[in-house]
Structure 1
Amino acid sequence: METMKNPLLSAVRFVVLTLFLAIAANQSFAQAPTQGNSKISGIVLDSAAAKGVEFASIALFNVADNKAIDGTTADETGKFAISKVAPGSYKLMISFIGYQDKAVNVKVEKGKDVELGSIQLASSVQNLQEVTITGEKSLIEEKVDRMVFNAEKDITSKGGDASDLLRKVPMLSVDLDGNVSLRGSSNIKVLINNKPSTIIAANVADALKQIPADMIKSVEVITSPSAKYDAEGSGGIINIITKKNNLQGLTLNIDSGVGNRGSNLGLNGSYRKGKMGFTLGGFGRAFYNKATSVLDQTTYSGNNSFLTNQSSTAKDRGLFGQYSLGWDYDLGKNQALSAGLRYGTRNFLQKQDLTINQYENSILNNSSLRKVDRKDLSGTVDFNIDYIRTFKPQQEWSISTLYSRTGLTNNFNTDILNESGAVDSKLKNENKNQNSELTLQTDYQTPLGKNQLLEFGAKGIFRTVDSDFKYLTAGESGNFVLSSTNPSGVLNYKQNVAAGYFSYTLSTKNKYTFKLGTRYEYTGITADMGDNKPIDIPAYGNLVPSINVSKALSGSTTLKAAYNRRIQRPGIQQLNPNVNLSNPQSISTGNPALSPELTDNFELGLSTNIKKTYINASVFARQTNNSITQVRMAVDTLQGAIVTTYENIGKQRAYGANIFANVYLTPKWTLNGSVDILHSYLEGQTTGLDGTSVGISNSGFNYGGRLMSQISLRNGWGLQAFGFYRGKEIQLQGTRTGFYMYSLGFKKDIANKKGSIGFGAENFLTKGVRFTSDLTSPQFVQTGTTQLYNRNFKITFSYSIGKMSFNAPKKKTKSVNNTDVVGGGGQQN
């Protein structure tokens, strides 16, 4: 009998056997001997609880050559049977996570069945303290179409949010506002547990602030999505997987933290009894920050120049929350049903003192002080019901539904003061948005032989965006009336997407894996800006092919190559025509007439292990036509003012490289980091001094990287240090300087690892981060500098209450996966 005392090795053995059985079950084994008429049967029991170990893995090996020839899984009671066994000597290997493996020798005689009776597995849970993780892929996993970053060991994430964690993920870059880019492209899709949400579509940066970093299990970066994923997201897809619990029993986890720049509190509970499970979670995060900024802006009109000098001090306060209720039920051995309800809220408040001095031909002609109160509020409800039916390993059919609705409020109130400091007038902008979408999706997959997989499906998305905006003014009395000069209006925008896809995967004997597919999406749009103001946006159809190839060269070395075509539809914030006049010299508005962009992506990557070092290197190139980007121009009717909007500028090309390495200096000390190099070229149109269109272009390199080290010490102590740098960003009309961030944290496990306490510090050697933006065009020159005072110290505490017992993982249902608007994205598993 062969016994494995290390539960980690047991888990590895279990995964290998499960993958083997998924391919082998209900199939003929290529190496199987001549089939006979005998049957081997028995029942697998827990040696301590005297109950069946459901879904245990059973593999049958030929003793002569020790090759696996057949296998199966136990049913809900632990019973199993292997039929059509030829006479001979065999070894039966029985394995399941949490138990020691067990081998049973079996001799089969011609025409006779073998009844083994009860086979008892001993628990290996008591040996967990002996586990030492040394595998290089505990941090990074490579798959044919994605890279997986396992985030569970991050110490400094306690008390932070998802944007803090994403800064540590290879190939991703996160700016100070929380905006995420993948290999230099911000046109990406973000999913949470494979599910989209209108809260993501509205604003990625704000949505990430609602997700606590210490609840994230892994981050999947899909640089070359296959045909089964929505064609949207020219830069790629990011899927954030949060921690889940499939164990039996009742638990309650408490996570909290307090710091000088932010505090958080999270409560997550789960209950599972038999075939039914419930989860209930709540997370709230409050932050408070201070920033100062200076802006010098010169515009030209004829022979005159207008200089605007602005300085501001802002105090930001935010309260972000996310609450969820989940339910799942096993209808039977091969069927599962799940449902979920999630509510997310964002409450961002900013108080800003803004001083504006205006000069005409170097002579001061106007000075004003404004006190601006900005409110950015939202509430999102997501509801999903999902069903999956498994016919045999890898053959399954699923139906997924999702309904999302978000209410957005983006308002500001401005007090305009005179030279004596008294309120001279007031300006108010009310901007309410409603965004809803209904998604219906069905998918089917089936194996073709032992090494092929066929997938196809269909999907419909029915999306509605409504915006109602208006301006009001008031004198000293404070009685607001509708403004006669500033814009008011509505936007009614409906978008329906119908899609179908086909995908084929082939694994060959010489260790090639091919994943080929194509997807067709048809998009119909109707839009208007109120009575008799239709917006002509034609319908369009897109065929988007994808090719992913990987080759296992030797040992743990894998080479990957990929090509895919992606489309990028404009998002809500880019479409909203509301004109933001909180700063009259720096105005912003959306463009409801935007068209989608189309991108071709090419990628080549290599991953390998060299002793105790894991290395992943990749090169990539992409070309985007009809690219959506920010464009700035002077305002004819307001001297010295610049308006920022979105346009389809023309071409955008990028190529670059990324290298990531993780090394185990000792079994308990790891060091990892990455370097990113990107070259961008942008080509588009702007407005010249005479009002005509002028062609412009800009290009340059961007460098970035990150470095992280973590040490596990005795008695439950742990230490982690992290540093991040993002270089100069190339924009169509200029550049934005880079910035860096760093952090140091430690934690101490308490109460037999049921809880922990910790301390973290961020940017503790300086006051914060400073960056500069330089923009130019024939109409203006603009330089802006911002100082963010984000030096932070925090104390964290977490504790788990409850008792769990291990049981078999239940069937997982598939879920809707919308990845087709700017600011969202993800995948299905």
Structure 2
Amino acid sequence: MNKIFVKSFKVTMLTGALFLQSQFIQAQAPIAPVAGSAVVSTPKGNSKISGIVSDSAAAKPVEFASVALVNASDNKVIDGTVADVDGKFEITSVAPGKYKLLISFLGFKDKSVSNISVEKGKDINLGKIQMAANTKTLDEVTITGEKSMVEEKVDRLVYNAEKDITSKGGDASDLLRKVPMLSVDLDGNVSLRGSSNIRVLINNKPSTIIASNVADALKQIPADMIKSVEVITSPSAKYDAEGSGGIINIITKKNNLQGLTLNVDSGVGNRGTNLGLNGSYRKGKMGFTLGGFGRAFYNKATSELDQETKSGSDIFGTKQSSDAKDRGLFGQYSLGFDYDLGKNQALSAGVRYGTRNFIQKQNLTIDQFLNSELTSNSQRKVDRKDLSGTVDVNVDYVRTFKPQQEWSFSTLYSRTNLTNNFNTDLLTSSGSVGSRLKNVNENFNTEFTLQTDYQTPIKKNQLLEFGAKGIFRTVNSEYKYLMAGESGDFTVNPDNPSGALNYNQNVAAGYASYTLTTKNKYTFKLGTRYEYTGINADMGAEGKVNIPSYGNLVPSINVSKNLTDATTIKAAYNRRIQRPGIQQLNPNVNLANPQSISTGNPLLNPELTDNFEVGLSTNIKKTYLNVSAFARNTNNSITQIRTTVDTLAGAIVTTFENIGKQSAYGMNVFANVYLTSKWTINGSIDLLQSHMEGQTVNEAGVSQPVSNSGFNYGGRLMSQLSLKKGWGLQAFGFYRGREVQLQGTRTGFYMYSLGFKKDFANKKGSIGFGAENFLTKGVKFTSDLKSPILAQSSQTQLYNRNFKITFSYSIGKMSFDAPKRKTRSVSNSDVKGGGENN
């Protein structure tokens, strides 16, 4: 909920309707009555008050103005409603008595209609009620309106994404590059303040769509369907203890409307094409949503690898070059249902299906050297397929007893089928196929979660929350490595890796949280959570894997202080744990590139991280400013390590071990400035000092400590300009500096875009054009790795220059209804994704 403070008025955006409450009204409830809200209980009658709200200057109706019915004797809100598109309103079931109306809407002076006397059984029609424009108020909203872009709360920062012009035709990873404190690399991997150990939620809900691969899953979510992004840097005890770097909660656009609508969003570009269809229907207490989104992309890349490994006095060298064509098809389809069971009860359910199909065709040339002498040359054609399909089913129930007192029960079932295969043709010197290789890796993940939460106020300034949760996970993976000649069937070679992983993880958790707000504007949120994890795993024919169970107590403390109405400071501490993800556990050996082999480690244990944070947010005239500093220390860190393999000269194997320690210190500065009433500019600067410790192997095969430290910086800048007749312009730039890894460094990269759109006159749709990285062919970055036994340098060039045309249109007409109450939902935030570079 966005709040804009204008002198003595508080503007609250609530699902499309703007509710303004003057300070003389003491009631704290929304104007439009909602089941379970704090509207004063008053005897009902059979009278009706009606009227039409109009603009005194333009002689037009004021659509969706807020109308509050106030008791004339004590100034308490009795009832309320919202005017329709014609400015008409009705308040029914009014008991006899004396009242007044308070009518409010952004850009108009509050209108008060006094001396309304209602007699039993008699209706009152007030006719036209004219509201005068408030130019001064509008000007001040322009000045302090930054809070609609970024909201600062006690444990999170909320970024409003609805004003993004260039988002249409893009995906969630494109949008997240613009969010303060977040960094997104070229592959879509997300990090928060330099840490990739984060959890991504969709509408407060987890999903194996996200858990299996965050980077790919974000490509399934269209950017223009995202309402806001919550960056939770200091999660309270109510959240799962997982996600040492924090939590990112993506809130998609919803509506609480009556009627039927259909929205079409599409885009065509030289690097990607998208089509989205979303419909909703609501009648009375029941609502349905049905939506689908598909996105296809196509790109190409070239890469070079220069690698040396040592074995005694010999030096094995490898030089690789490749060109690849990437094709992807991503989709997400959902069906939602909600029903108001009664005045204080709500039920919701949903089914969501996500699909990810990524196909890469690569031509690979490998030259191998021994002590600088060329020993072999080979050419390969590699066809890699990374496919998945996920089904999520949830049922949620909430019962509200009184304001802030409610009980909820939530369930979630998820299943993901994953295929990660490659086929390789080994070519002869003449270019014909000499032999063939195939890796088959079929696996699936299932989750079943039960969760219950209860919260209740204690007096007027305290809130108590507690709950329990159980998560039951199963991960099954089978993998084979097959060989064949130029023709004929593939056969299993017993010398090649094959096997299985059956991994069962059960998590039992309980938490308690206490919130206190003092008279001098301090807010304290204290809590603790205990999680017990039991694991049972085996590797098929190789037998059981002994992984001990463990329990973790994770406290959290959040403190904020409102120095003024415009300035807030806060401090926080929390402990987090990070369980390994499926990609890090999966022992499948990927031999698509014989000189760069990767495999997981099923024996990994969780990480433990302590986080400290201080921050300040303020409004200075036309500028919103947020400054934060943080410190993070991680033990038992899950770290990528690279070693050589005796059976394959010159090859490097990458896997994961709990051998690291990581510490990070940094700060983030974000500002949003209104240069004029139509022109805004916002940006942020990220600074990070990191230190990593781990283990490596020397030339004698003995493990030895290794460490690395470095400074990283980055930032983003975005400007928006609103023009006449529905035209809008936006420019965006992003830069991420050199990144330190345990065994080397990786160069930074940049991205930029320019876009404009034209809204149709009836606001039913828009057409736009966007260009990304249009001054260069693409982005090039380099990774350098060093250890006592290896030196590796790789360069990758992505050709991501993109031009796109976007179109959206909405069919149907709906009217606003009173906002629905929120339903609780499961929120699992407890697994770590694979593929991070530490």
TM-score, normalised on structure 1? Answer: 0.90
- Out of 413, 419, 423, which is 1:409 matched to? 419
* Aligned mates of 2:119, 2:459 — CA distance in 1: 29
Q: CA deviation at 1:12?
A: 4.3
* Aligned mates of 1:121, 1:207 — CA distance in 2: 53
CA 1:46–1:571 in 2, change beyond 3 Å: closer, same or farther? farther
CA 1:41–1:619 in 2, change beyond 3 Å: closer, same or farther? farther
Contact 2:70/2:99 (8 A) holds in 1: no
Answering whether residue 14 of structure 2 is matched by residue 21 of structure 1, we say no
* Aligned mates of 1:14, 1:357 — CA distance in 2: 73
* Aligned mates of 2:48, 2:119 — CA distance in 1: 18
Secondary structure of the corresponding residue to residue 348 of structure 2: strand
Q: CA deviation at 1:484?
A: 2.4
Residue of structure 2 equivalent to 1:572: 582
Q: CA deviation at 1:60?
A: 5.3
The residue type equivalent to 2:459 in the other structure is G
* Aligned mates of 2:106, 2:93 — CA distance in 1: 17
* Aligned mates of 2:756, 2:591 — CA distance in 1: 45
Q: CA deviation at 1:72?
A: 4.9
The residue type equivalent to 2:795 in the other structure is T
Residue of structure 1 equivalent to 2:830: 820
Residue of structure 2 equivalent to 1:459: 469
Q: CA deviation at 1:809?
A: 1.4
* Aligned mates of 2:462, 2:95 — CA distance in 1: 24
Secondary structure of the corresponding residue to residue 137 of structure 1: helix
Q: CA deviation at 1:92?
A: 6.5
Answering whether residue 293 of structure 2 is matched by residue 283 of structure 1, we say yes
* Aligned mates of 2:490, 2:79 — CA distance in 1: 72
The equivalences for 1:204-353 within 5 A come to 204-353=214-363
* Aligned mates of 1:778, 1:194 — CA distance in 2: 46
- Out of 155, 161, 164, which is 1:154 matched to? 164
Secondary structure of the corresponding residue to residue 18 of structure 2: helix
Worse-superposed segment, 611-620 or 803-812? 803-812
- Out of 507, 510, 513, which is 2:517 matched to? 507
* Aligned mates of 2:800, 2:565 — CA distance in 1: 45
Secondary structure of the corresponding residue to residue 649 of structure 1: strand
Residue of structure 2 equivalent to 1:32: none
Contact 2:234/2:574 (8 A) holds in 1: yes
Residue deviations 1:104-159, cap 9 Å, x none?
55799xxx999996586979999999988621111101111100000011111110
Residue of structure 2 equivalent to 1:691: 701
The equivalences for 1:644-793 within 5 A come to 644-793=654-803
Contact 2:47/2:120 (8 A) holds in 1: no
Residue deviations 1:323-347, cap 9 Å, x none?
0000111111111101000000001
* Aligned mates of 2:621, 2:614 — CA distance in 1: 23
Answering whether residue 807 of structure 2 is matched by residue 800 of structure 1, we say no
* Aligned mates of 1:568, 1:213 — CA distance in 2: 28
CA 1:100–1:815 in 2, change beyond 3 Å: closer, same or farther? farther
Residue of structure 2 equivalent to 1:176: 186
CA 1:119–1:706 in 2, change beyond 3 Å: closer, same or farther? farther
Residue deviations 1:730-758, cap 9 Å, x none?
11111100000000000011141111111
Q: CA deviation at 1:486?
A: 1.5
The equivalences for 1:406-485 within 5 A come to 406-485=416-495
CA 1:121–1:470 in 2, change beyond 3 Å: closer, same or farther? farther
* Aligned mates of 1:559, 1:576 — CA distance in 2: 44
Residue of structure 1 equivalent to 2:564: 554
The residue type equivalent to 1:790 in the other structure is N
Answering whether residue 627 of structure 2 is matched by residue 623 of structure 1, we say no
* Aligned mates of 1:122, 1:807 — CA distance in 2: 22
The residue type equivalent to 2:18 in the other structure is A
* Aligned mates of 1:464, 1:326 — CA distance in 2: 26
Contact 1:41/1:81 (8 A) holds in 2: yes
CA 1:38–1:532 in 2, change beyond 3 Å: closer, same or farther? closer
* Aligned mates of 2:93, 2:237 — CA distance in 1: 37
CA 1:650–1:19 in 2, change beyond 3 Å: closer, same or farther? farther
- Out of 549, 564, 585, which is 2:595 matched to? 585
* Aligned mates of 2:659, 2:547 — CA distance in 1: 17
Contact 1:194/1:816 (8 A) holds in 2: yes
Secondary structure of the corresponding residue to residue 531 of structure 1: helix
Residue of structure 1 equivalent to 2:205: 195
CA 1:787–1:74 in 2, change beyond 3 Å: closer, same or farther? same
CA 1:320–1:642 in 2, change beyond 3 Å: closer, same or farther? same
The residue type equivalent to 2:312 in the other structure is G
* Aligned mates of 2:814, 2:292 — CA distance in 1: 21
* Aligned mates of 2:668, 2:26 — CA distance in 1: 34
Worse-superposed segment, 530-539 or 558-567? 530-539
Contact 1:545/1:564 (8 A) holds in 2: yes
* Aligned mates of 2:107, 2:349 — CA distance in 1: 28
Q: Which runs of 5+ in 2 are unaligned?
A: 1-8, 54-63, 83-89
The residue type equivalent to 2:500 in the other structure is V
Secondary structure of the corresponding residue to residue 165 of structure 2: coil
Residue deviations 1:553-609, cap 9 Å, x none?
013100010000000000111111000000000000111100000000000000000
Worse-superposed segment, 112-121 or 365-374? 112-121
Contact 2:757/2:769 (8 A) holds in 1: yes
CA 1:460–1:569 in 2, change beyond 3 Å: closer, same or farther? same
CA 1:339–1:701 in 2, change beyond 3 Å: closer, same or farther? same
The residue type equivalent to 1:402 in the other structure is L
Residue of structure 2 equivalent to 1:47: 51
The residue type equivalent to 1:47 in the other structure is G
Residue of structure 1 equivalent to 2:541: 531
Contact 2:318/2:368 (8 A) holds in 1: yes
* Aligned mates of 1:791, 1:691 — CA distance in 2: 45
Answering whether residue 617 of structure 2 is matched by residue 607 of structure 1, we say yes
Contact 2:65/2:105 (8 A) holds in 1: no
Secondary structure of the corresponding residue to residue 650 of structure 2: coil
Secondary structure of the corresponding residue to residue 337 of structure 2: strand
Contact 1:259/1:793 (8 A) holds in 2: yes
- Out of 396, 405, 413, which is 1:386 matched to? 396
* Aligned mates of 1:326, 1:13 — CA distance in 2: 31
CA 1:7–1:473 in 2, change beyond 3 Å: closer, same or farther? closer
Question: What is the identity percentage for the equivalent residue pairs of Structure 1 and Structure 2?
Answer: 72
The residue type equivalent to 2:201 in the other structure is L
* Aligned mates of 1:399, 1:166 — CA distance in 2: 31
Contact 1:350/1:375 (8 A) holds in 2: yes
Contact 1:411/1:431 (8 A) holds in 2: yes
Contact 1:99/1:124 (8 A) holds in 2: no
* Aligned mates of 1:417, 1:505 — CA distance in 2: 67
Q: CA RMSD in A?
A: 3.4
The residue type equivalent to 2:600 in the other structure is G
Q: CA deviation at 1:47?
A: 3.2
Q: CA deviation at 1:418?
A: 1.1
Answering whether residue 607 of structure 2 is matched by residue 594 of structure 1, we say no
Secondary structure of the corresponding residue to residue 626 of structure 1: strand
Residue of structure 2 equivalent to 1:827: none
